[in-house]
Structure formats: C-alpha cells, structure tokens
Amino acid sequence: MRPIFFLREALRGLSRSSAPALAALLTVLLTALVLGVFIPIVQATTGTANEVRSRVVVDVYVSDSATGEGTAELRRALMSTPNVESVEFISKAEALARAEDKNPRAFKEGAELLGSNPLPASFRVTPEDPDRIREIVEALAPNGQPRLATIDEVRNREEETDKILSATGLVKGLTATLAGLLVLASVALVANTIRLSIFARRREVEVMKLVGATNWFIRWPFVIEGIIVGFFGGLLAVLVLTVAKETLIDPLSEDFALLAAPDTIDFPLLAALLMLACVVVSALGSGITLRRFLRV
C-alpha cells in the first residue's frame, strides 16, 4: 500500500508540475551527455600519456671485461632491484645493428674504419613507476660509482626523461582537473535545478507538515520523483551516446584505429555508470534539498 501510494504521489507531482521536472530532466540529460563524451576522452588522453611514459628507461652498460657468468649475475641483480619491471639484454652485435638501423649511412663507411664493434652490451631496464626512475639509478650506481664491477655505466637519458615526465604529467594533471571540475559542475547544476523545482512547491510541503505528515512521508514522493527524472535523463543520454557512437565513432575507428585508444572504458559499463550517477544524484538532490523546507 505505502510504496504504491508514494509512487502515485510522485507521478502526480511530476504531471502537475511538469515544467520544472522537464527542466531537471533536460539538465540531467545534458550533463550526462557531456560526461559521457568526456570520460572516454580523458581516458584516451591518460592512456596515451602512460604509453609515452613507458618509454622512460634506464640503460645499464656492461663493461667489456664481463664474462658470460658476470652478465647473468648482473641480470639477476637488476631484476631484484626495487621498482624494476622488466630487463632487456642488448648484446654488442644487437647494439651495432640497432645503431646501423638508425643511421645507415654513417655506418656504411664507419664500420670499416673502426675495425671492431665499439658499442658495449647493455641492459635496458623498464621501471614500474617512471616517476621514481632515479631510485633505480641511485641503487645501481650511488653517486655515479657503479656498485658492481660488471657495470660500466648507468644512464637514464636525463634530458629526454625529464621532458617526457613533465609533459605527460601536465597532460594527466590537466585532464584530471578538468574531469573533476566537470563532475562538480554537473552535480551542482542538477542539484540546483532540482532545488528550483522543489522551491516552487515549498508551500505545499509546509501545509503537509501542518496536517501532521512525518518528514519521510513527505520526502519519499520527492525522492521517487528524483529517481524517475534521473533515470529518464540518464536513459536519454545513453541513447544519444549510443547513436553517436554507432554512426560517428565506430566507422572512424575502423578506418584509422584512432579512437580505439588503448584502454577506454567499455561502452556498456560507461552507460551503466552514467545511469547510476544520474539516478543517485537527482534522488539525493531531491531528498537533501527538501530538508530545508521540512523544518516547520
């Protein structure tokens, strides 16, 4: 009896004051749309930034005097260093081949002049956390002095690393701030619209209180209204997003593999999250805003 009564009350409220309800629905729809577009963009950006960051490496050059056993020992030592994710061995021959690849013309003539391969073998060490790359360098060669005899030199391509770290850091920070602001703005906008629609009915709430209704008796229909508005606003937004995705983005990504960025959120999950957020925000918005008018 009670839930049905509250539902009927909510529907009555929506139909009798449809203009503010429609405004609230529209607000929910628009903010959900903006969020729905922005979330994958943020993710694609951070994904790309992370991909760039993974290029930050430490090169550990092996001294030419190192035996095969010494090299193996060095690999073990590197693997057990904290913050090391993976270690890749590049032999002298490989190093030369790579150098040749990069600059074929110089090596065509140079190889004969040099006589022997001047490039040392090296380990390419990928860190788990690029921001803490200096820790690896410090651990392997404190103050530039290699800890093991088999290490000739430890280098982390200082300049390049710094650039990558600061640039990607900026991008990540900016998108995170933008996303945060956008979420805040959405919540504020939805809450405000709901507040207006309730404010228009504050007299009614007052009368209900004077007739002897308890707070929750008055509140439930408003919360249900909020749920309905949030649900339909979110649903419409998801529909629009689906249409946009099918018609605009999917054909593009087939052609360029451009927007299919590494790890953006799955569309069904995004849709579910948006719906949930819409419903929760507008239901809570209604319930909380009402509190002010219930103090009679």
Partner 1 sequence: MPSRMTQTRTETVRPRATPSGRDIPVVEFDEVTKVYDGGSIGLERASMKIGRGEFVFLVGPTGCGKSTCIRLLQKELEPSKGEIRIAGRALGEIPRSRVPYLRRNIGVVFQDYKLLPNRTVYDNVAYSLQVIGESRQEIRRKVPDILRLVGLSTKLHNYPDELSGGEQQRVSIARAFVNHPPLLLADEPTGNLDPETSIGIMQLIYRINRTGTTVIVATHDKEMVDKMRRRVIELREGQIVRDELSGLYRPDESTTEFAVRLRGELGVGAEGHPN
Q: What are phi and psi of 264, to 5 degrees?
A: -85, 160
Residues engaged in binding partner 1 (CB under 8 A)? 1-2, 5, 12-13, 16-17, 203-204, 206-215, 217, 296
State the minimum distance, in angstroms, from the CB of residue 289 to partner 1. Answer: 19
Instruction: Give pairs for 166-173: CB < 8 Å, separation 24+.
Output: 167/52, 168/49, 168/50, 168/52, 168/53, 169/131, 171/45, 171/46, 171/49, 172/45, 172/46, 172/49
Residue ranges of the alpha helices (H) in 200-214? 202-211
Report whether 38 contacts 29 (CB < 8 A). Answer: no
Toward partner 1, which CB reaches closer, 9 or 59?
9
Helix (H, G, I), strand (E, B) or coil at 29: helix
Report whether 177 contacts 46 (CB < 8 A). Answer: no
81 dihedral zone (left: phi>0; alpha: psi -120 to 50; beta) = beta
Report whether 133 contacts 127 (CB < 8 A). Answer: yes
Q: DSSP letter for 84, please.
A: E
State the minimum distance, in angstroms, from the CB of residue 16 to partner 1. Answer: 4
Report whether 195 contacts 289 (CB < 8 A). Answer: yes
State the minimum distance, in angstroms, from the CB of residue 254 to partner 1. Answer: 52
State the minimum distance, in angstroms, from the CB of residue 50 to partner 1. Answer: 53
Toward partner 1, which CB reaches closer, 30 or 213?
213
